[in-house]
Copies of this chain bind each other. A is one copy, B any other.
């Protein structure tokens, strides 16, 4: 990715993304961590996983556009009482430096060696700012960061929602994610501490930037088929804050909605597969819409079955969630499954760490969820248990730090 392209906020190109994922996909020969991984781990596959890198610096933070990884962890941090602008700036400068090294497979100063030998493993570290952080700093809170309104049947745990800072860690290796989380937690000491943290996964390497590799969620459904892709018409306008966006420090950034969505798997399991497919609106094996075709065939929402009923029923999830049903609302979703044991009521504490990037949550997640909560048949098999919203500033240049645009303006 050339330097001019890197610095063009919002000027995201399909070519740029392909270059990035291609860089991530090939075993970058010079990767420091990769070589260490090669010598320490033996297996060819371990070497391959360790060597992969997703470049940290760029017009957008890498976690926004990078393909989903096998492991995705999220941590929200709260500032210590009394932490001021200077301390926040120091923290963000430190985190940026650490993220830049870790995503290159290099140790940080004073590294605890937790991931020595495992390489970069496609690590991404993406930092977002909660409305509460902006208020603490005395910065105006953009309308995009207005609280997400409550929806019918929400069952939110406030202790596991929101936060001053939110950080998404993704990588091909869990120990690399854990190491990154520990590193940033340690360097935040005295300024910020973890408010809540969740641990998710995806099928191993089942997901790439290519079509045809959509991963399954814990309901067994291919999840993400309808996701917009970089380069699609309107992608930038829906997902990224453009060059004229306000506030200026968010140009090239995006807004991240996080929801912990528990799946009522025991109830879901009682449905025959045909009924599950009607609730979703897609076949379970292939992911093809019930209106026909293959996984990526566009939905035909008007298609009728021979009996005259709609092929994709009125309450089917894909109908209710589609841009056509939501005035064009389009979000870039990232899902990581979680399985956190069993609850006291005997149900699995399992589901989806749902994340969606968009230019404005009011026109994206909120609009769609207002419809889903009322009309989506799938909603009675889900329970939204936590919610958070973060402004994800643009990527950093090689000498800058994440959020510098915000901090410099205060």
Contacts and interface: CB of A to CB of B under 8 A. Distances in A.
Interface in A323-353: 337, 339-342, 346, 348, 350
A49 B205 contact: yes
Interface stretch (A174-182, A303-311, A390-398): A174-182
A41 interface: yes
Contacts of A337: 174-175, 178
A42 B210 contact: yes
A172 interface: yes
A220 B114 contact: yes
B340 A175 contact: no
B194 A273 contact: no
A212 interface: yes
Contacts of A116: 216, 220, 284-285
A260 B41 CA distance: 26
Interface string A274-285: 000000000011
A124 B213 CA distance: 25
Interface string A98-123: 00000000000000111111100100
Contacts of A284: 113, 116
B201 A339 contact: no
Interface string A173-200: 1111011011001100000011011110
Nearest to A213: B42
B342 A197 contact: yes
Interface string A112-156: 111111100100000000000000000000000000000000000
A265 B118 CA distance: 20
A26 interface: no
B45 A48 contact: yes
A213 B269 contact: no
A374 interface: no
Interface string A44-81: 01101100000000000000000000110100000000
B182 A265 contact: yes
A206 interface: yes
Contacts of A219: 114
B218 A114 contact: yes
A73 B178 contact: no
B342 A205 contact: no
Contact residues of A: prevailing secondary structure:
mixed
Contacts of A114: 216, 218-220
A215 interface: yes
Contacts of A409: none
A4 interface: no
A269 B112 contact: yes
Contacts of A204: 46, 49, 70, 121, 172-174, 204
Contacts of A179: 220
Given A42-B212, A194-B346, A273 B113 contact: yes
| 7 smallest beta-carbon distances between A and B, as pairs | A114-B220, A174-B201, A173-B204, A175-B203, A42-B213, A46-B205, A113-B220
Given A173-B206, A174-B202, 14 more contacts: A42-B208, A45-B49, A46-B205, A73-B339, A116-B220, A117-B216, A174-B339, A175-B218, A182-B269, A193-B346, A196-B341, A197-B348, A198-B341, A199-B339
Interface of A: 40-43, 45-46, 48-49, 70-71, 73, 112-118, 121, 172-176, 178-179, 181-182, 185-186, 193-194, 196-199, 201-206, 208, 210, 212-213, 215-216, 218-220, 265, 269, 273, 284-285, 337, 339-342, 346, 348, 350
18 contacts: A41-B213, A43-B206, A70-B174, A112-B220, A115-B220, A117-B216, A118-B203, A118-B206, A118-B216, A175-B201, A175-B202, A178-B218, A182-B265, A182-B269, A194-B348, A196-B342, A199-B341, A204-B204
